[in-house]
Chain A
Amino acid sequence: MLKQSRRYYRRFYRLVSFAVILMTAVLTGSLLLGDSVRDTLVRRVGERLGATETVITSGTGFMSDAVMQQPLLKDAEGYLLMDGFVSVGDKLLPVYVWGTDTDSLSPGEILINAPLNSQLSPNSSTRQLVNSSTIIIHLPSHNLVPSGSLFVTRSYATQMRVSVAGVKSVEEGGNLLLKNEQTLPLNVFVNRQYLAEEMGLEGKINLILSGRIIPEEEFAAVWTPEMSGIHQTDSSLTSDAIFISRDIVDKFANSSTIYFSYLANQLVYFRLCRMSASEAEANSSTVNYPFITAVSAWQGEALEGRDMILSDYAARRLHVSEGDSVVMDYYVARDLKNLDTRAQSFRVKRIVPLSSFMHDSLLTADFPGLSHVERCTDWDSDLPINMERVTKEDEAFWYAYRQTPKALVSYQAVSGDWSNAYGSATALRFSSRPDVSLSPRDAGVQLVYPRARGLQGAHGGVDFAGLFLALGFFIILAAVLLMKNTLEEMFTLRQAEISLYRQLGFSEGTVRRSLFREAFIVMLQASPWGVVAALLYSSLTLWLLGNVWSGATHTEGFALSVHLHTLFFGWAAGALICALVLWRVLWRRSRGHVATSSRRGSNGYIFAGLLFLTLLLTVVNFISLHSMALFVVCGLLWILTWGQFLRLYVQRRQSGEIHRIRLVWSSVRASLGQHLLAYWTLSLGVFAVFAVGLNRPDFTREREATGTYQLYVDSRVPIQYDLNNPLVRQKLSLESLPDTTRFLAFMRHTQDEASCLNLNQVATPTVLGVDLKEMEPFGLRDSSLFTLHPSLFIDEESLTWSLKKSVGDTLYYQNGRGESVPVVIAGTYPTGIFHGNAIMPAEQFRRLWPKESGVEVLLVKSSDPDEAAEVLSTVMGEYGLSVQTTEERLRMFFEVTETYLVIFLTLGGLGLLLGIFSLIIIVRKNLAVQDVVIRQYRAMGFSEELICQLLLRENLIVPLYAVCAGATGALISISANVRGAGYATLLFATLALAVLTASLVVGIRIIVKQYIINTETT
């Protein structure tokens, strides 16, 4: 019998099946999407790490490739890894250049990975090599001596002309990447020896990748300081990097004599104590640009306070004797090689033969650009050396003694001024073999285990299941309503049948169970098809995410992952919802209409309360808070309020004066539940679509998003200069920059991309170091929290979505020594051009990563930003500057939000269509029971037009009311940012609303007319 009933009412069951399939498809599909994206991220971890389990990095320095001879590293590979860039047309492609020994590459040959091949030759397939087999790679000039130190100056970038020998596949490790990102890197693989020779780094590596987990202690056991370019003997310690880090100096402080070689401006001896400036010139003796070495002791004799030991050569030139005072002028570097001149007066403690200085090699250091030149005039340094002051005598000294110091001064007196981020000594001398030893960390060597971190990031990444459940929620809701309405319509038509069952002696429970079984079997039969549809839905969505909607993920190659437990869970959840809907429909039907008059009074209070709350929140928010989220809540409250009003108004419509419109309301009252259902479906649908469609936050108009800066400059090569300094502009040929051009510079500690472009959960976002006062225009307010701990600020979106943390939480960064340092999230700032970056006070940044000098991010403000961009791109091309307007950068981030909005609009629009479809069923259902009414109207002399009008009003009044409530609710929700929507969007929305309204009117009119005609013909 059940089978026969199902067959007889197949018209309804087809619709129910459709709704079940749709709901199960969206539900299960969303879960499949979550699995697929997560599995894709996990797969990407495998692709980018290959077999790598342990990463050993040398920090900012280098290691000797001899370390690879250690048995511990026999299965590991040493790399010389550089950040470089390739220019293609106007575009700069940031690339990772991997110097490797494993690919049997000849010098000058490179392998590239498929994504780079696609970028270089977008029209060719990934299997095809780039058309031009020769490309130029720009690399920052690395050297053993840190380029941020004061004495180093040179071209900051170098170029390599190489030929492309092939494409390295994913399986061969072509997509090797150590950062926790799902986007495919652009990789270049080059012969390591060749790269090292080009960079002047022969025999050096800066990265070791091992396929097994190497505990830090095991590595420390085989590591020697020599491997990191620290030359330690029983009597001395020097470094390839010239400067010896403060940590090492401190470690040996009690057992060593400290040496610090420095190029001073001059040594001056004044003969008279009181004189005018002109007299001082005439009565002084100077030695220009002498190398001076600061020492803590000399030949067993401690130098303290203002002690100076002068060479006989300098004493002769200065005409001084022991006990005289000599003034030493020298430059001190502040940030970005901004120089200050300092002068200190020293007492000549002793005068010794120059030869005694010559015999101690630790007194000199090999400064690049200074040490190995033939003449003083060939010196190349960031120190502003006035060559006119270099005398023939100076040249003669240089010719004979090179950088032999002319004097020794007390280390205590100058160490504060001369120490820099890279170290506080140039040599250490031991009187006996020291009993302390160095560890890899002292040399900046760090061991990282990226797989666990990568997998954690992938598993904790953006929850696409939740995201698409939210995006597709309205479709699910609409499908549930469609299911409910169809079932109600069917059971309404079967009322006589149900009554008959009761008359025949069936209990209410028996009848209900029988109907439940009849309908639920149909639902169960339909739900597996929903699972099949879910596979199609998720496949289509993944394809869209990789193509049409790639703006949301910036990722290609999403692959569908099908887990049986997910399919089962989706199916079971769908079936459970079906059972609940069906049970509720049957339960309500058996209960019938319950009189609601007793609740009228309370409904009135509820309405008044809701209206007051909505207006209060809206006004307060409009005047002071301006919270977008609160406006959305206000919009929803508005819909709730008018839903309540509808209920109240209809219930209060009683007998009394008889008017046609009252008849309409009486009809609405008779099926209030259905009409309220129509109201909620339509008003929420209209609200969702229009609120999202109109809510276009216009970042570009937000002052705090850009801080009023016009250009955002990203440099692949750290810039070691203050570009606001006119002398620097002159030095770098930037004089053509508009005079009004001002720069705000940021140091950068590169970590994981934490913007919305990265789908992985991020543990440590990239940190930008800057003076926090400069961040006030970006809405970043200083907080007392960060004076207690190292702390940072992060934009609101990254904090919530990428980090999944809150203000006050702690992140753990590795400092320059590889130690895990807790850094507190002190606050947030509005999402803008720094989206995805953490901001840290500059002094704390330098303390954590002292060797990461130079700036990599610049903000530019200029009266002519186009001209400034042009000049910077042209003149500083070798730095690999990527110059974009702040507006472009904001749009890049906005594209992600925009794409998600488009997805929501697409799915919401489908849901709205389904809602309208559901509404049509409600109308049809209402009309189905109006057959008698129509006939009676006709019998009473109502004209066809009047009948149509009455029925149309009856069925249209609530939908139109719902559209109005939904649209006004949407307007309230966007009132924080109405202008952001723009006139064109508002006009489009108005037109869309008009079309929707017209469609409703026309559609319902057609249905009503059809029903009237049907009753006429029958």
Chain B
Amino acid sequence: MLCLENITKRFADGQRMLTVLDGLSLHVEEGEFIAVIGESGAGKTTLLNILGTLIPADEGSFLIRGEEVKDMSAERLCQVRNREIGIVYQDHRLLPQFTVWQNILLPTLAAKKASTDEEQQRALELLDFMGVAALKDSYVTQLSGGEQARVAICRALINRPAILLADEPTGQLDAANALTIASLFRQVNTQLHTTVIMVTHSSHMAKAAQKVYRLANGKLQC
């Protein structure tokens, strides 16, 4: 489903270039739950951004369902991000000016002006699935960290993406909430058949995944 071959990513660090990913390769099959762990600064978020098509790789090939990302038009990239990929961030990135309901349905507006009834039904199901249905009309500033994380997962799943990317999704949560969220990711993977790729520095969280990779020196090690 996802195929990364010899991915290299460099960033300018003053006068010199810093190589963050150095010939990284990764193959992800449909329905897999993969965790990527690594030290801070190892390049986990960079990898996730490349997987989320948010930044391009400098070198190498990245195929999504056999389609080369670097050959995709900007429009196609948006389409892929919107339809194929859902992302959950460490800080959840819920928009404070919107309600929970609006935040969840936000991705449905990327391609059209209004959300459909089917999408709204899906949102209700997801809210129910995540156990936050009662918070539908609340503003995100009124939610706890755990509730925000669940809403963020709902939003990431609203368009039925094939891939769910998570960047330290429990980084701001206490241990109990972290375990719950980890369990939810597993449920998403098993019940919704969504491919999950989670980057984390927590080995406890990584245990929820089927495969765990360590990112070090710009390469993934199994």
Which of A's residues lie within 8 Å of B, judged by CB?
A: 654-655, 657-663, 666-667, 669-671, 932-933, 935-936, 938-944, 946
Q: Can you report 21 A-B residue pairs in the complex whose CB atoms are below 8 A from each other?
A: A654-B137, A655-B99, A655-B101, A657-B114, A658-B102, A658-B109, A659-B109, A661-B113, A663-B109, A670-B96, A933-B95, A935-B93, A938-B54, A939-B52, A940-B82, A940-B155, A941-B78, A943-B75, A943-B110, A944-B74, A946-B78
Q: Kindly state whether residue B190 has any CB partner on chain A within 8 Å.
A: no
Contacting B107 at CB < 8 Å: which of A657, A661, A941, A943?
A941
Q: How far is the CB of A153 from chain B (nearest CB, A)?
A: 92
Complex CA–CA separation, A39 to B78 (angstroms): 71
B54, A939: Cβ atoms closer than 8 Å:
yes
B93, A939: Cβ atoms closer than 8 Å:
yes
Question: Of residues 88 to 124 in B, which have CB atoms within 8 Å of A's CB atoms?
Answer: 89, 91, 93, 95-99, 101-102, 105-111, 113-115, 120
Known contacts A658-B120, A663-B106, A933-B95; decide if A939 and B81 are in contact (CB<8 Å).
Answer: yes
B93, A932: Cβ atoms closer than 8 Å:
yes
Known contacts A939-B93, A943-B74; decide if A659 and B110 are in contact (CB<8 Å).
Answer: no
Known contacts A655-B137, A941-B83, A944-B74; decide if A669 and B54 are in contact (CB<8 Å).
Answer: no
Task: Name the CB-closest residue of B to A932.
Answer: B93
Complex CA–CA separation, A805 to B98 (angstroms): 59
A660, B101: Cβ atoms closer than 8 Å:
no
Known contacts A933-B95, A935-B93; decide if A658 and B81 are in contact (CB<8 Å).
Answer: no
Contacting A658 at CB < 8 Å: which of B74, B78, B89, B115?
B115
A666, B114: Cβ atoms closer than 8 Å:
no
Known contacts A655-B102, A670-B97; decide if A942 and B82 are in contact (CB<8 Å).
Answer: yes
Contacting B87 at CB < 8 Å: which of A657, A670, A933, A939?
A939
Residues of A within 8 A of B78 (CB): 941-943, 946
Complex CA–CA separation, A670 to B96 (angstroms): 8
Known contacts A666-B102, A941-B78, A941-B83; decide if A936 and B95 are in contact (CB<8 Å).
Answer: yes
Q: How far is the CB of B123 from chain A (nearest CB, A)?
A: 9
Additional pairs, 7, CB under 8 Å, beyond known A939-B54, A941-B81: A655-B99, A658-B102, A659-B115, A660-B109, A667-B97, A669-B97, A941-B78
A941, B82: Cβ atoms closer than 8 Å:
yes
Q: How far is the CB of B167 from chain A (nearest CB, A)?
A: 10
Task: Name the CB-closest residue of B to A935.
Answer: B93
Q: Kindly state whether residue B80 has any CB partner on chain A within 8 Å.
A: yes
Complex CA–CA separation, A943 to B52 (angstroms): 14
Complex CA–CA separation, A940 to B93 (angstroms): 11
Q: How far is the CB of A496 from chain B (nearest CB, A)?
A: 13
Q: How far is the CB of B57 from chain A (nearest CB, A)?
A: 17
Residues of A within 8 A of B101 (CB): 655, 658
Q: Kindly state whether residue B136 has any CB partner on chain A within 8 Å.
A: yes
Interface size (B, Cβ < 8 Å)? 36
A941, B93: Cβ atoms closer than 8 Å:
no
Complex CA–CA separation, A663 to B99 (angstroms): 10
Residues of B within 8 A of A935 (CB): 93
Residues of A within 8 A of B137 (CB): 654-655
Residues of B within 8 A of A659 (CB): 109, 113-115
Task: Name the CB-closest residue of B to A929.
Answer: B96
Contacting A940 at CB < 8 Å: which of B98, B102, B107?
B107
Known contacts A939-B54, A941-B78, A943-B75; decide if A658 and B87 are in contact (CB<8 Å).
Answer: no
Complex CA–CA separation, A655 to B100 (angstroms): 9
Residues of A within 8 A of B183 (CB): none
The 0/1 profile, CB within 8 Å of A marked 1, for residues 115-151 of chain B is 1000010000000000000001100000000000000
Q: How far is the CB of B198 from chain A (nearest CB, A)?
A: 16
Residues of A within 8 A of B114 (CB): 657-660
The 0/1 profile, CB within 8 Å of A marked 1, for residues 38-74 of chain B is 0000000000000010100000000000000000001
Complex CA–CA separation, A654 to B108 (angstroms): 18
Residues of A within 8 A of B109 (CB): 658-660, 663, 942
Q: Kindly state whether residue B79 has any CB partner on chain A within 8 Å.
A: yes
Q: How far is the CB of A182 from chain B (nearest CB, A)?
A: 59
Q: How far is the CB of A698 from chain B (nearest CB, A)?
A: 49
A940, B120: Cβ atoms closer than 8 Å:
no
Known contacts A933-B95, A940-B82; decide if A658 and B108 are in contact (CB<8 Å).
Answer: yes
Residues of A within 8 A of B136 (CB): 655
A940, B97: Cβ atoms closer than 8 Å:
no
Listed residue (B79, B98, B155) with the most chain A CB atoms within 10 angstroms of its CB: B98
Contacting B93 at CB < 8 Å: which of A662, A670, A936, A946?
A936
Residues of B within 8 A of A671 (CB): 97
Residues of B within 8 A of A657 (CB): 114-115
Question: Of residues 12 to 60 in B, which have CB atoms within 8 Å of A's CB atoms?
Answer: 52, 54
A941, B120: Cβ atoms closer than 8 Å:
no
Complex CA–CA separation, A670 to B95 (angstroms): 10
Q: How far is the CB of A954 from chain B (nearest CB, A)?
A: 9
Complex CA–CA separation, A943 to B111 (angstroms): 9
Listed residue (B85, B91, B95) with the most chain A CB atoms within 10 angstroms of its CB: B95
Q: How far is the CB of A939 from chain B (nearest CB, A)?
A: 5
Residues of B within 8 A of A933 (CB): 95
Task: Name the CB-closest residue of B to A939.
Answer: B87
